[in-house]
Structure 1
Amino acid sequence: MKKGDRTREHIIMKSAEIFNQRGYAGTSLNDIIADTGIKKGGIYRHFASKDEIALEAYNYAASLVCGKFSEAVDQEQSASGRLIAFFLVYEDVVNNPPFIGGCPMQNNAVESDDTHPALRDRAQQGLHTILDMMKSIICEGIQTGEFKEDLNPDALASFAFSLLEGGILLSKLEGNNRHMQMNTASFSSFLQQCCLKAH
């Protein structure tokens, strides 16, 4: 990797952490300069604006978390296990989140809802990516006979992701993982009702 590419990657990685912790509005170019150790001119050699950095930084953070979801899912054999794997990635969201600052999609969606359409679009893409992953797992579970045939993949994926994101939000707000733990246990019990037989 060339020096210029390494510098650009360094800016993206450090900025992703700052944006995910402080938000877009709460992060200034001076914050990025301070955290990266790169002068203003060096930043502008790679990016035209703070907006461009924010979009690249979000892509980086979201892809990292999505990779951790995929890795956890791939370790499970059953459809139920694969769905629970999403929750386990965030089981210690208070002390050890998969990316510093919590869920990039959630943080981005809340802050950029009405103020930054481009960031909101990225968060929306992230939402659909995860929902599609979940729906694919559910459809496979129906096809293999693990889940009941009348199960609605769209509804179950929405329910699962809502429980996951709600658990992250409440646990972070309270500084206690109990909400993630309760939501994981509740979803696990619910999945047993969706199964044709115990797994």
Structure 2
Amino acid sequence: MHCGLLYSAGKDSTLAALLLEDFYDVTLVSGTFGVVDPDPAREAAESVGFDHETVDLDPAVAREAVERMYDDGYPRNGIQRVHEHAVERVAEGEWTESLDAVADGTRRDDRVPTVDRPLAQSVEDRFGVAYLAPLAGVGRGAIDAMAAQSLDVETGPSAEIPKADYEVELRALLVEEYGEGAVDEVFPDHIQSRVRGRSG
């Protein structure tokens, strides 16, 4: 069975892949608006032994998300909109000959992004794939412990960790559309992770 897992190069999506690899042929898939280089995600995927692909996301969704984030003054609704779009794009499966499941690294404590039951069922019905969220019942403490045991992870401020996820692209688009100060106005400071390989 083949699973396409939305991938940012961070520890959550990498742990999700590790949990699924005994059951699926997992391909790590990064959605892109063509704004940033996908190489950090590709390198992280290769470092843990998974194939990596990119799928093109609709630039209109990015513009809508950036406008929403700027108007709101916080990123939640924009990121949620992009994540839902990315799940659907991966589920469409245009990047592969066969796909049985689409997955992501959303976890129990996430406020955003999330995939609620109606969207998950809609994706399954429309695209004929299973939707999987292997970390949906797992809290931050357990995830940190699993990552410490199984992964070599680099952490730091989000602006300093090279990743290839749509948050990075949305930040770049915010600057392009609203100027340098827009990112600080919209995004709170937080710590990001990037996987460098499996431990041991």
TM-score class, shorter: 0.3 to 0.5
Give the structure with the higher percent helix: 1
TM-score by length of 2: 0.33
| Larger RCO (alpha carbons 8 Å, 6+ apart) | 2
More strand by share: 2
Which has the larger Rg? 1
